[in-house]
């Protein structure tokens, strides 16, 4: 019996992988984009946003947490999986208050860029319009809870990279929310500093650097001309 080659099948393409790689990382390395939000090349798999849901040998699961195995048959870019992704995006949009025209992250926001790429035309569902706060107490960063999508990248970065635990996810169900670890609960009283990974990892406009808003003109922003599936592929495949 010959050993199976470290290759799996993704929408008909042969994707080579290193043992230990997930389907997502292997696909990205091979130049095939799978939509994702909470997955980040610098962090271990998290698997909460479910945007990267794929069908592996007939079973659905997130490509970011499933290890690549020889001979797997993986479906990703199909109308029905993209429909699931579109609905998940709609859920994220109605859950928070995402007012793109007023957001400094617009044009470089992964949530927005995925909505463009997957052609999410409307949020479809009844908006929750939650009453969430803005915390402007930090000298360098603005924390706008209205835009948080609970990906926990800031939580993970602060805990695992910065060693600070500035952020935590609290609550449950639709009351889930990010909290700040400081006596007052405000960002200004936390230990977050400008060099922290956690301060720069937010994929949406929830954590924003102050005093640099709108420096990139419309037309020159990250996702203005090419979809995230091309821009991020070039970035993350490095």
Partner 1 sequence: MDVGTAPKKVKIATATLGGCFGCHMSLLDIDERLLELVQLVEFDRSPITDIKHCGPCDIGLIEGALCNAENVHVLREFRANCKFLVAVGACAINGGLPAQRNRFDVGDILQKVYSDTPDGRSRVPNDPELPLLLDKVYPIHDVVRIDYFIPGCPPSGDALWKFLNDLIGGRTPRLDYPQFHFD
Partner 2 sequence: MASIASSLDPILAGYGHDPTALLQILRDAQEVFDWISPEVRAAIAGTLGVPTARIDSLTQFYAHLYDTPRGRYRILFSDNITDRMAGSVALMDHMLTRLKLERGKLSADGVVSVDFTSCTGMCDQGPALLVNNRPVTRLTPRRIDEICDLIRALTPLDEWPADFFMVQDHIRRADMLLGAAYRRGDATRAAVARGAQAMLDEMKRSNLRGRGGAGFTTAVKWETCRDAPGEERFIICNADEGEPGTFKDRVLLQSFSERVFEGMAIAALVTGARRGFLYLRGEYSYLRAPLEAKLAEMRRENLLGEKICGAEGFDFDIAIHLGAGAYVCGEETALIESLEGKPGKPRIRPPFPATHGYLGFPTVVNNVETLCKATEVALIGGASYAGQGTKQSTGTKILSVSGDCERPGLYEYPFGVSIAQVLEDCGAQNPGAVQVGGAAGNCLTPAEFGRRIAFEDQPTAGALMVFGSQRDMIEAARNFARFFAHESCGFCTPCRVGTSLVADMVDKIAAGRGALYETMDLQRLHDILRRSSHCGLGQTAMLALGDMMQKFRPAFERRLTSRDFEPGFDLDAALARARELAGRDDAAAHLGADI
CB atoms inside a 10 Å sphere around CB 70: 12
SS3 content of the chain, % helix, strand, coil (to 5): 25, 15, 55
Q: Which one of the spans 27-35, 109-117, 154-162, 199-207 is the region binding partner 1 (CB under 8 A)? A: 109-117
Q: Which one of the spans 31-39, 125-133, 136-144, 183-191 is the region binding partner 1 (CB under 8 A)? A: 125-133
Rank residues 115 and 149 by Cβ distance to partner 2 and give the closer one. 149
Contact positions with partner 2 (CB under 8 A) in 190-219: none
What is the C-alpha separation between 55 and 217, in angstroms, rounded?
39
Sheet architecture: strand order including 134-135: 134-135, 141-144, 207-209
172 near partner 2, rule: CB under 8 A: yes
Angle of helix 79-95 relative to helix 110-117, nearest 10 degrees, comes to: 140
- Of the candidate residues 6, 82, 181, 229, the single one contacting partner 2 (CB under 8 A): 181
227 near partner 1, rule: CB under 8 A: yes
If binding means CB under 8 A, how many residues of this protein chain bind partner 1?
29
Which residues, in sequence order, are CB contacts of 33 under 8 Å at separation 6+? Answer: 27, 228, 229, 230, 232, 233
Rank residues 53 and 106 by Cβ distance to partner 2 and give the closer one. 53
57 near partner 2, rule: CB under 8 A: no
The answer to whether 30 touches 39, Cβ cutoff 8 Å, is no
213 near partner 1, rule: CB under 8 A: no
- Of the candidate residues 3, 19, 59, 121, the single one contacting partner 1 (CB under 8 A): 121
- Of the candidate residues 7, 69, 94, 237, the single one contacting partner 2 (CB under 8 A): 94
180 binds, among partner 1, partner 2, none (CB under 5 to 8 A by kind): partner 2
DSSP letter assigned to residue 158:
I
19 near partner 2, rule: CB under 8 A: no
Strand 73-75 to 7-10 pairing: parallel
The answer to whether 123 touches 89, Cβ cutoff 8 Å, is no
CB atoms inside a 10 Å sphere around CB 235: 12
Chain contacts with partner 2 (rule: CB under 8 A): 45, 47-51, 53, 60, 65, 84, 87-88, 91-92, 94-95, 125-126, 128, 149-150, 165, 167-176, 179-181, 183
């Amino acid at each position: 019996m010959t050993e199976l080659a470290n290759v799996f099948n993704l929408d008909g393409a042969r994707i080579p992988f290193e043992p230990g790689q997930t389907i997502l990382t292997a696909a990205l390395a091979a130049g095939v984009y799978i939509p994702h939000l909470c997955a980040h090349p610098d962090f271990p798999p998290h698997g909460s946003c479910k945007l990267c849901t794929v069908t592996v040998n007939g079973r659905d699961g997130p490509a970011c947490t499933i290890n690549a195995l020889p001979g797997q048959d993986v479906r990703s870019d199909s109308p029905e999986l993209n429909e699931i992704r579109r609905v998940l995006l709609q859920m994220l949009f109605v859950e928070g208050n995402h007012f793109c025209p007023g957001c400094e992250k617009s044009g470089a926001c992964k949530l927005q860029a995925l909505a463009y790429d997957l052609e999410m035309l409307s949020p479809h569902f009844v908006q929750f319009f939650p009453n969430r706060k803005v915390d402007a107490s930090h000298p360098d960063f603005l924390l706008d809870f209205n835009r948080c999508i609970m990906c926990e990248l800031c939580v993970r970065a602060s805990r695992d990279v910065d060693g600070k635990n500035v952020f935590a996810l609290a609550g449950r169900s639709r009351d889930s929310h990010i909290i700040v670890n400081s006596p007052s609960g405000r960002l200004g009283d936390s230990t977050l500093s400008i060099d922290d990974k956690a301060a720069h990892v937010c994929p949406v406009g929830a954590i924003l650097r102050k005093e640099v808003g709108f420096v990139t003109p419309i037309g020159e922003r990250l996702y203005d001309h090419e979809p995230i599936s091309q821009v991020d592929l070039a970035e993350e495949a490095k």
